[in-house]
Amino acid sequence: MTTHIDTRSVSDFTEYAYLNYAMYVIMDRALPHIADGLKPVQRRIVYAMSELGLKHTAKPKKSARTVGDVLGKYHPHGDIACYEAMVLMAQPFSYRYPLISGQGNWGSPDDPKSFAAMRYTEAKMSQYANTLLAELEQGTVDWQDNFDGSLTEPVTLPARLPNILLNGTTGIAVGMATDIPPHNLNEVVKACIRLLKNPDLSVKQLAQSIPAPDLPTTAEIITPKDELITMYETGRGSYKMRATYHIDPNQKNLVVIDALPYQVSGNKIIEQIAKLMNDKKLPWVVDANDESDNANPCRIVIELKKGKLDIDKIMSHLFANTDLETSFRVNMNMIGVNGKPEVKNLKTILSEWLSVRRGVVIRRLNHRLDKIDKRLHILAGLLIAYLNIDEVIRIIREEDDPKLELMNRYGLSDIQADAILDIKLRQLAKLEEIELNAERDHLEAERAVIAEQLANPDALTALLIDELTADAKEHGDARRSPVVERDEATSLKATELISAEPVTVVISQAGWIRLAKGHSTDPREMNYRAGDGYLTHALGKSTERLILLDNTGRSYGLDTVNLPSARGQGDPITSLLNLASGSKIEQLLFNTPHNIIMASSTGYGFVNSINNLDTAQKAGKTSINLGDGTLLPVALIDEADTLVAVSISNGNLLIFPLDDLPQLAKGKGNKLVNLKGDETITAITSLSADDSLVISAGKRTLTLKPNDIANYTGKRAGRGAALPKGFGKVNAMTKLIKDSE
């Protein structure tokens, strides 16, 4: 006996299994259905609560009771996952219109996951949830077997409102995801009514009623209008939310944040601000505290330095660098009427939901019509009995089979005969007959209305509009998230909002840097570490960038706010800059609107701008090619300067026109003097024709008057003339401006 075994390749089996799993995740776990806007687990939670009698008017029951029913009857998955889905529907800061009203600890905006265990919390359905369930038992939806076939559950709920847009949802499936933002009920209903009246409306026209999402927070939506319209036209995009703030009326240096973007934690904001402060990227902030309480659900206080600060610019800086401004992705992917996942635009969503709603209402009306017809049939039989009450009583008392006799005598149906036989003696009063006639007339009038609604599409549309209007009146509220146009948030440089104060920057021989306020400090008299001492310093303003030059010709830039105070002995410059091995900072100057002369000891130089030396790179940048030489102290060029003075190690001095030097951003430059043998340049400076030149050689100084300077004037790349005896080793040259003599 041989048994045939069906075989498949591993690839075929894997593909089949993966596709089945993918479809299961998409259809039964991750994506909501357009009809009620719910995922399967959410739908089962709501239905299970309705079966437990947990209406909004009922007394709440333990959440564990609900979770147990959901798992045992409809959703055999993890209890924690089920409870978390339940918690989400109960959090007013997560759902725009919560489906569950909870008692106990259901989490907080700062920590939505901090909810208590399900054995401690209690829950019932919210009043809004009634819009999903009110018509459930009226023949409005299809039913399916539960997982073991022992019970039935609704395929979807007969939502009276487009919950898919009102509460939105997020989810990750296999190969796709969904991010549908919540919206305002009144706005969505208004758009639905407009679409019912005019099905040809465009998305742009519908966006007049639904300008943007509406989140359960009063933070601002700042996305431009045209981007929001594009988002609704495509079903994809994003929108930005920005925190709102005000200035404390009593303390002008306190900024109070009173609303955060959706699902942004106040604790996280405090952490982000603290990190910026530690990284010295927020020099204007003294402190930040979260003072939120029951009276003020969101109150984050930022203390600024006292003084004249542009608070709006500081907040713009915070918006750009923290979650005080957050972008949210939109991907309106859902299970449509056709049972397939699809990204839909705003009009498609509303149109498709309205078609679902129209179908639900038609089914409800037909269900009601059927009940009316059955009741009218019974009433007709009862009224026949009342018209012949004496004979009916006789038949019931005397006949062996009164039911059959009644049916034959008066042409009654089986149901009518049973209704007559079920009449109680006290119902035989004349008043009861009057009530039966009144009930019949009322039902016939109702039947006529329903018949007209079913037969006339315009009448059905009017009914839909009336019901939407009534639900909006009962459950609607004002928009919470204002739509505001704001300038784009931008990061600021640390110096942009600091007051201009005089500062002195000092660097030691060992490379330790510090900053002292004012210009009165004598850097040479400061305390230095053992074995260390003064190297150089620079005078400037707190708003100016500090330029540093090393012995290799590289330049660096720093904000003064990032420098340690001179109250201590400073920090190693290597903690602020990435210096190459063997490199050492030798010169400091502030980034002022000056040109400078940069020169090497080998006799080459050029004119540069201080601004060209600045860089944000910690490793700096090459500013001059020194070759085998060393970098001379840079010389600041004043507007009146027209000459360049260069001293040679042999004791010569050459003065030539400043215009003979090229202006470069970096490089080697042109030859300054004609050097011979081991000669080098010892000093360089610029001056005007009216300035005197002070030459220092050791402890000796020589002042050359303007008339004397002519003796050393020549062409660039010349040799100049010899200085007086004793000035063979010039170590410095400075100009003496005429007015200061």
Active-site amino acid positions: 120
* Backbone phi and psi for residue 290, each to the nearest 5 degrees, phi listed first: -95, 110
Q: What is the largest CA-CA distance in the chain?
A: 158
The rounded distance, in Å, linking the Cα atoms of 316 and 497 is 12
Task: Provide the residue type at 611 as one letter.
Answer: N
Across the beta sheet with 300-304, what order do the strands follow? 244-247, 254-259, 300-304, 285-290
What does the CA dihedral 717, 718, 723, 725 come to, rounded to 10 degrees?
Answer: 110
Sign of CA dihedral 375, 376, 379, 381: negative
The full length of the chain comes to 741
Q: ∠11-16-21 over CA atoms, to 5°?
A: 125
Tokens 């995801």, residue located: 177
Tokens 């020589």, residue located: 702
Q: Which residues contact 647 (CB under 8 A, 6 or more apart)?
A: 653, 681, 682, 683, 684, 695, 723, 730, 733
555 touches 547 (CB < 8 A): yes
Tokens 């602020």, residue located: 576
Q: Which residues contact 289 (CB under 8 A, 6 or more apart)?
A: 270, 300, 301, 303
The rounded distance, in Å, linking the Cα atoms of 590 and 600 is 21
Tokens 């699902």, residue located: 263
Strand partners of residue 713: 655
Burial 630-669 (b: 16+ CB within 10 A, else e): ebbbbbebeeebbbbbbbbbbbbbbbbebeebeebebebb
Q: Which residues contact 611 (CB under 8 A, 6 or more apart)?
A: 591, 593
Across the beta sheet with 700-704, what order do the strands follow? 700-704, 692-697, 732-736
112 touches 131 (CB < 8 A): no
Give the residue among 214, 216, 210, 215 at the shortest CA–CA distance from 233. Answer: 210
Tokens 């090619």, residue located: 625
Burial 259-276 (b: 16+ CB within 10 A, else e): bbbbbbbbeebbebbeeb
Give the residue among 185, 160, 163, 205 at the shortest CA–CA distance from 464. Answer: 160
269 touches 324 (CB < 8 A): yes
CA-to-CA separations, 633 to 552, 575, 598, 649, 699, in angstroms, rounded = 13, 25, 8, 15, 19
Tokens 């300077």, residue located: 709
The rounded distance, in Å, linking the Cα atoms of 8 and 13 is 6
